[in-house]
Amino acid sequence: MLKTKELLDIANKGYPDGFLAMYYDKNGKFCESTGDSLARFIVVELIETFDPKLTDEEQLDSAVRTLERAKQDVQDVINSLQQALVDAVISKANKT
């Protein structure tokens, strides 16, 4: 069975500069650090959704689904900001 630390180490391989490791210890427990709030977010999400009763495949699938949901939430925020930018540009153009 996959352990929390192993899951975090797998995720850390894909993160720039391996910075996820700043937010967990050798046992896979959360460690407070500063400097990269996205890395912190990913570590917290993976720790909070970890279920030791799942098989390796189920655990990896759960981690992927968790981060896919987060990715969609971030994309929704980006879309909202982009729309606000378009609206601001149009509003400014209409005033001139």
Domains of the chain: which residue ranges?
4-95
pLDDT value for 78: 98
What is the distance between the terminal CA atoms of the chain, rounded to a whole angstrom? 64
H or E stretch covering 45: helix 37-49
**30: which strand partners?**
24
Q: Over the stretch 4-25, which tens digit does the pLDDT of each residue have?
A: 999 999 999 999 999 999 999 9
pLDDT value for 43: 98
**24: which strand partners?**
30
| C-alpha–C-alpha distance, residues 46 and 31, integer Å | 13
For residue 29, the tally of other CB atoms under 10 A from its CB is 12
pLDDT value for 96: 78
The residues of the chain scoring below 70 in pLDDT are none
pLDDT value for 91: 95
